[in-house]
Amino acid sequence: MTRTTIRAFRRIPGFRAALLSALTPLAAYAAPVTSPDVDTKKNLPQIKPGRETVTVHGATRAPRLAHKVPLGALGTRSELDTPFSIASVSAARIQKMQAADINDVFRYEPGVQENSNGDSTASGSSFRVRGLNLDWTNGYKINGLAIPYWYIDIPLANIDRLQLVKGASAFMYGFGSPGGVLDYQLKAPVEERQLGVEAGYRSDAVFRQMLDVGGSLDDDHRIATRLSFGSEVGNQYNDSFVRNLSMSFTTRAKITDTLHWNFNSFYMNTLQKGMVNGVAVANDATNVRTISGRAPFGAEDSWKTNDLKRFSTGFDWDISPNWSANIVYGYTHLDERFPSNQLTFTSDNGNYYNQSFQMTRVLTYHQVNASTEGHFRTGFLQHDVNVGVTWLKQIFDADAGAGAFGSREYGNIHTMRPSLTTATNYDPRLYHYIDYLQVAPYWTDTMTWRKWSLMAGARYTDYQENDFLASGSRTAAHRNNPVTPIVSLSYKPQDSINVYFSYVESMQSGGQAGSTNVNYMEVFAPIRSQEYELGVKVQKRRWSGTLALYRLDTGAAYTNAQNYYVQDGLSRYQGVEASGGWQATHDLTFGGSITYLDARYVKAAAGYAGRRLEAVAPFQAAFNADYLIRPVKGLSVNAGFNYVSASWLDAANTFRLPSYIVGNVGGNYVTRIGNHRLTLRASVQNIGNVRYWVSRGNRGLFPGAPRTATLSARFDL
């Protein structure tokens, strides 16, 4: 577009605001969420049909807040109009960050704290949200449907967007942790033909490849498709090996102008060698010195495989201009096999004992969701209604021989590598461990009058759970029929500002004792929780921000002095989160976030009441910046850091985890070869090579990732 043409368009009313809105890049809470896609002639974003829109300069959060997102029982609405906290990160942003896992993706998100290192152990990457772990059984989704996330990593090569919903998440999607729900949204079908290939390297010697192809199968664009393939193979920094293959295929067919059929599929197969199951701390140790993530905790001969199959199919029907309906069926099967070792620190100087360990899990999910969404008026009130029902059956088969057992091997992590493992005598004995069945109708109605909106809704859940011993006898049968309400009040003094208050109740499945507990694999009854949230969201042309104050009460669960995992009393999480983004100049963007969280056992056994909850940092802060270097067309650089304050490893508050700061830097360069785009990226995570501990609680430790470098090149045909 020439300057003369631009001057002509400027005379059109509202053109300047519309242009700025269109070109403003996306941002995830306090972080840009886009990646470079630059015209080398003019340094302007190039928007291609069917391609992800990406930019190279700074970001504000305004477009992200205006972006509409699927929210389960709440239907589809913009983030600005949603009276809860949401973090949404696009594939473009994930690529720009050179993110290897979900911990990398949400590193700048307020209220999110890393609690495991997927590259260091075979337990996968995970984090806490507002102090709570996500529910392994229900808290992770693919396209809104539950998947078993039992110590696995979903490859990011197949993902279009990661969406984290905080607080009200359990109401929106059924049983789950009240902290949050993470939805992996597969790469969606596209109509225009596209082909992208990418190759990358992560130190020490992991090589990555990716293929992304899509387009319509017919000239009328009635059948849109998308196929993506990812591969990651190589030796990792802690003397372990990983091979991760994944593939997704999605399609959408237009049966009529108002009726569409869709099919989504995902397959993942992972092999890991030389990785430990977990690292525990004995009661006698109170301050184990931090250890490099390069330390080899896993026995050299240990191995683990994960085989995950998932597909869904359904119909979307536009009944009328104001009403739509959909129905979807989903199937997921996870087969996890893991002969390994388990290490326990016995002293602060790194002494340990090691035992053989094995674990086998097979989980099968069947799920049906049906819903109707629409809007209408009654007098002066505008109603936005969502009514639906969820049916979910989950079958969990476990290994009767699971756990740590046999003789102990003693050593020091600074001088030797553990060697005992069950890899040579692995003999799983599967039995029917747990089955769950949920039938949950729900409704929500958002009533709007001028600048005010009142949301009201409820979910009724018929919950049935059966727990079994290896002998086949049933140990418990949990039957619950809770009604969990949701209420919120919003006020918008301006179209760009939303002030809200919300209250929600939710249910989650009971906890399960971990492999280091005396009562390993014991299952507990479901837990009810309540959360209050007061917040404000602001999106302006050059800056944006969010502020949320919340309080959440839920059942307490912890390991007691006798090493039994118990579910007893009440835990309270209350805190404040703030984040913001500022486009200081056309080329420079800043983002930041801050979190304060007071998480304590309010009611618990003697010696635990009033103590801080384990592995929950009271204070977190993050900052990042993105800068376009104009003298070198197509080049941008970014940097950021995370600060996490000290926390307690155990419920009795005797073992203190030290605070840490981790910094990251990166760069992106976009050029063109003919009519095709070439994107080169480089980044360094933990640039200071800081040693630090992360933890899921329950006296379990993981060493944080050391300094790692990542390189990649992407070519779009």
pLDDT at 20: 37
Question: Which token pair is 563?
Answer: 């090493």
pTM, rounded to two decimals: 0.88
Beta bridge pairs of residue 334? 308, 363
Enclosing H/E stretch for 4: helix 3-10
Tokens of 498: 């939303």
Give how far Cα 154 sits from Cα of 199, 403, 513, Å.
Answer: 18, 25, 24
Element (H, E) at 76: strand 76-78
Cβ-count burial of 267 within 10 angstroms (0-12 exposed, 13-18 middle, 19+ buried)? middle
- Asked if residues 438 and 463 have their Cβ atoms less than 8 Å apart, the reply is yes
Q: CB of 277 within 8 A of CB of 418?
A: no
Q: Which residues pair with 7 in a beta bridge?
A: none
Q: In this structure, are residues 342 and 373 in contact, taking their beta carbons and an 8 Å threshold? A: no
Cα separation values, 156 from 172, 317, 438, 462, Å: 24, 30, 30, 34
In contact, 592 and 33? CB cutoff 8 Å = no
- Which of 74-83 are b and which e, b meaning 16 or more Cβ less than 10 Å from the residue's Cβ? bbebbbbbbb
Say how far apart CA 270 and CA 278 lie, in whole Å: 18
Which of 129, 167, 159, 155 shows the shortest CA–CA distance to 143? 159
What's the pLDDT at 40? 34
Strand-pair partners of 685: 664, 708
Tokens (6 digits) for 162:
């990661």
Instruction: Tell which phi-psi region holds residue 218, choosing left (phi > 0), alpha (psi between -120 and 50) or beta.
Output: beta
Per-residue pLDDT, 45: 35
Give the pLDDT of residue 67: 67
Distance CA 39, CA 37 (A): 7
pLDDT digits (tens, 9 = 90+) for 686-706: 999 999 999 988 888 889 999
- The helix (run of H) or strand (run of E) holding residue 7 is helix 3-10
Element (H, E) at 5: helix 3-10
539 three-state secondary structure: strand
Q: Phi then psi for 417, rounded to 5 degrees?
A: -110, 135
Which helix H or strand E contains 314, and what residues bound it?
strand 303-320
- The answer to whether the CB of 367 falls within 8 A of the CB of 341 is no
Q: What are the residues whose beta carbons fall under 8 Å from the beta carbon of 379, sequence distance 6 or more?
A: none
Cis bond before residue 445 (omega within 30° of 0): no
Ranges in the chain, pLDDT < 50? 1-63
* DSSP strands (E only) in 236-291: 241-254, 259-273, 278-281
> Shortest CA distance to 161 belongs to which of 262, 326, 33?
33
Mark out the alpha helices in 87-214 (DSSP H runs): 91-97, 102-105, 169-173
What is the rounded CA–CA span in Å between residue 177 and residue 80? 24
Q: Is 103 helix (H, G, I), strand (E, B) or coil?
A: helix
Q: Name residue 313's amino acid.
A: T
